[in-house]
Amino acid sequence: MDTDYKSRTQKKNEDQALQRLGEQLVALPFGQLKTMELPDELLTAIEFTRKIRSHGARRRQIQHIGVLMRHIDPQPIENALDRIRTGNLRK
């Protein structure tokens, strides 16, 4: 039995969680994003998303950010967002 098996629903839920995390990143000021040490490609996608006004195009760009985030560990980003929310900006 393959222990790494994930159902289609599990994969979708994980992708949606990464998209929600990406939406939170888009809402942050650029200075706080720089302190997170995100990959350049992800930073570029976030900056591009901020310029988009069309709802559909913005949704697709958020999906793209979710795809980019599949290739990195989201835990440090979640920890940084928690520190920002609690007001503790130190590492």
Instruction: Report if residue 6 sits inside a domain.
Output: no
Report the 10 Å Cβ neighbour count for 58: 16
> What backbone torsions phi and psi does residue 87 show, to the nearest 5 degrees?
90, 5
Structural domain of 23:
12-86
Query: How much is the pLDDT for 4?
Result: 81
pLDDT (0 to 100) of residue 90: 55
Residue-averaged pLDDT of the chain? 90
Residues of the chain with pLDDT under 70: 1-2, 89-91
Report if residue 52 sits inside a domain. Answer: yes
69 lies in a domain?
yes
Question: Is residue 3 assigned to a domain?
Answer: no
**Given this model, what pLDDT does residue 24 score?**
94
The number of distinct structural domains making up the chain is 1
State pTM to two decimals. Answer: 0.83
Q: The domain that contains 76 carries what CATH number? A: 1.10.60.30
Any domain includes 5: no
User: Residue 70 domain-assigned?
Assistant: yes
Report if residue 91 sits inside a domain.
no
Task: Write down the pLDDT at residue 86.
Answer: 87
Inter-residue long-range contacts of 7-15, CB under 8 Å, 24+ positions, other chains counted: 15/66, 15/70
- Output 81-85 pairs: Cβ under 8 A, ≥24 positions apart: 81/21, 81/24, 81/25, 81/28, 84/28, 84/32
Amino acid at 59: R
